[in-house]
Structure 1
Amino acid sequence: MSSDNTQSTNLNDEIGGKQTEEGLENSSPQRSSPAELVDAINLVFGKQTHNRAIHAKGIVLEGRFIPSSSAATLSKAPHFQEASVPVTVRFSDFAGIPTISDTDALANPRGMALKFHLPDGSETDLVIHSFNGFPAATTDEFRELLIALGYSGPEVAAPTPADTYLATHPIAKSFLESQQTPPVSYATLTYFGVNSFKFINAQDKVTFGRYRIEPEEGNQFLSAEEIEKAAPDYLADEIRQRVAHAPIKFNFRVQIAEQGDKIEDPSMAWPDTRKLVDVGLIEITRVVPNSDAAERALLFLPAKLPEGIEPADPMIEFRNAAYIISYKRRNDIS
């Protein structure tokens, strides 16, 4: 991991002096392995046989990404140019529990994963969720949180390991306690890319940013009365009906970093005053015929990037490796 950390520190040098000083806080070598992170997730939700370790319950749809005229000014990536490209989209609930009710608190934050099918036959992926931030600055911290949660429960005397951990980690506590109420639809949520990327355009201009995908119909949530009446699988039922009626549209944007923003720390949301660049429109047109089979077969790799986009946060590579391990386990691949 040392080479990744050196690269990330150099990226911070390009943003500015204050960024470099703050970025050094996260430059210590990674202690845990991707396999250990997946094991820690299993400790919380149980080991999955055929489903993802986390975000186990979901639905797969298809559509296209139509780049805006300003996309190419940000990056020379092929899907940021003039032509539209097909996309595969998976929406999901947070927990690693495939039978979780959509109204359960553990269903938040919701996930959105996208696979862009590029003109040359290759693919690039993006995995984001409906909360502007992450409960930990590093994967080591995230694993520590998961272990604390896994060894806590109603039968454990207070203070539980989770109580002790959260007492000294206010960002993780806020993440767990400030989630939104259930949405009207997967299509009525804003999704945030908490990891930062380095965008390079055809003139070699470098910009650092985070993705943000916003619904054209705005954010909409269920009332208390609607939550009481909602079926356990209402989100999949709702989006099937919605997309059968009309395409679902999201505005695809990138939030631009400024001096002092923590590029390497996904737990720190950047101010809403930061510039947003419109890079295109995501238009979802149908549910795939066999969503369950598609879910198991799909592997989203956040570090699978085309020329013109690079990781600017070491967590991206680590997530990538953990997703491969989870995929192999649910497909019995050694």
Structure 2
Amino acid sequence: MPLPQDERIVALANDLLTVFHTLFGPHPGFRPAHAKGLMLTGTFKPAAGATALTKAPHITRASTPVTVRFSNSTGLPSIPDNAPDANPRGFAIRFNLADHVHTDIVSHSTDGFPTRDAYKFLEFLKAARASGPEVPSPKPIEQFLGSHPAALRFVQTPKPFPSSLARETYFGVTAFRFTNANGETEYGRYRIVPEAGNDYLGDDDVARLRADYHYEELEHRVKQAPIRFKVLVQVAAPGDVTDDATIHWPEDREIVSLGIIELTNGLEDSLAQQKHIIFDPIPRVDGIEPSADPLLELRAAIYLLSGRERRAAKA
């Protein structure tokens, strides 16, 4: 996973990391965003007919081992699971194709993203940083949201608390280009849907949750029975925008099933594994390629730079 050649992207990634550290404080060994998490392992099995969309290796073989990480939002490793800022939740999936060969999906539980590019995202974070409770209205973040409707829409999108992170749906942020063995190409976005269905808590139940409820529940759940998710792709129609993560496609777009993830075990050394693993938002695999979305290279740079920081941190 090399750093981009564009020095502007690397500089911007470093600027974003600096803002994250000032927003949430330095927490060596943890991610600057989605710091609190848990890792599980299992298997992915492709759906019949998925090769009509892509020739990617995990779609053409019978099964592929996976390593996944569920996470809370923010860079706070101890954020209570019932804190509003714990949403949206993250779900990262690594398809282990061979030794040191993999492709990843990085998703979260709110469909979309607050800004089209990272420069605006940096403005968004700086506005949030400058908008403490002591700052009078209109606060910088209020001014930013007032002039950026996509960011306002993302902030205002309901983010309910799931009864289990295994009962939540997760969305890929950006579109990808899927190519099958015949060279036919479609653009699509990932959806990771729980086989058990979505289930959410009311306000009273949320208020009673223990600080680590969701991760304790996951560890207990996977010991009782496998946790299954359907990996789906919402396919773009001609004319749909594929390079802007703030734009949603209509719900009547075709949904293609890629397969089923079955999670069967937790990791005994989950914290150590979380410190080491660096997920990559760019697929880097034949049959699934990046779109022209400007967020992709920037997100990959942030993940790599923060991952190097995390690995270098003293235990």
TM-score, length-normalised on structure 2?
0.93
Letter in 1 for 2:17: V
Contact 1:44 1:150 in 2 (8 A): yes
1:44, distance to aligned residue in structure 2 (A): 2.2
**Which of 294, 316, 323 pairs up with 2:303?**
323
Residue aligned with 1:210, SS: strand
Residue aligned with 1:134, SS: coil
1:331, distance to aligned residue in structure 2 (A): 2.3
Alpha-carbon distance in structure 1 between the residues aligned to 2:238 and 2:32: 36
Residue aligned with 2:70, SS: strand
Alpha-carbon distance in structure 2 between the residues aligned to 1:146 and 1:208: 30
1:157, distance to aligned residue in structure 2 (A): 1.9
1:246-294: CA deviation from partner (whole Å, max 9, x where unpaired): 0000111110011232111001111111100001001111111121111
1:135 partnered with 2:110: no
Residue aligned with 2:215, SS: helix
User: Which residue of structure 1 lines up, in the alignment, with residue 37 of structure 2?
Assistant: 58
Aligned length: 306
Contact 1:131 1:192 in 2 (8 A): yes
Label 1:58 to 1:143 Cα distance change in 2 as closer, same or farther (>3 A).
same
Alpha-carbon distance in structure 2 between the residues aligned to 1:108 and 1:175: 12
Contact 1:251 1:278 in 2 (8 A): yes
Equivalent runs, 1:85-234 vs 2, <5 Å: 85-119=64-98, 122-234=101-213
Contact 1:68 1:82 in 2 (8 A): no
Alpha-carbon distance in structure 2 between the residues aligned to 1:41 and 1:110: 17
User: Which residue of structure 2 lines up, in the alignment, with residue 43 of structure 1?
Assistant: 22
Contact 2:69 2:91 in 1 (8 A): yes
Label 1:102 to 1:311 Cα distance change in 2 as closer, same or farther (>3 A).
same
TM-score, length-normalised on structure 1?
0.88
Residue aligned with 1:159, SS: coil
Equivalent runs, 1:260-275 vs 2, <5 Å: 260-275=239-254
After the TM superposition, list the runs of 4 or more consecutive aligned residues in structure 1 that deviate by more than 3 angstroms. 29-32
1:250 partnered with 2:229: yes
Question: RMSD across aligned C-alpha pairs, in angstroms?
Answer: 1.7
User: Which residue of structure 2 lines up, in the alignment, with residue 306 of structure 1?
Assistant: 285
Residue aligned with 1:310, SS: strand
1:177, distance to aligned residue in structure 2 (A): 2.6
Contact 2:9 2:301 in 1 (8 A): no
1:196-245: CA deviation from partner (whole Å, max 9, x where unpaired): 10111111111110111100111111122211211011000101111111
1:54-103: CA deviation from partner (whole Å, max 9, x where unpaired): 00000000001100112211111100113100000000001111110111
Label 1:144 to 1:256 Cα distance change in 2 as closer, same or farther (>3 A).
same
1:171-202: CA deviation from partner (whole Å, max 9, x where unpaired): 21222232322111110111000201011111
Q: Unpaired runs of 5+ in structure 2?
A: none
Q: Unpaired runs of 5+ in structure 1?
A: 5-28
Residue aligned with 1:33, SS: helix
Alpha-carbon distance in structure 2 between the residues aligned to 1:63 and 1:222: 27
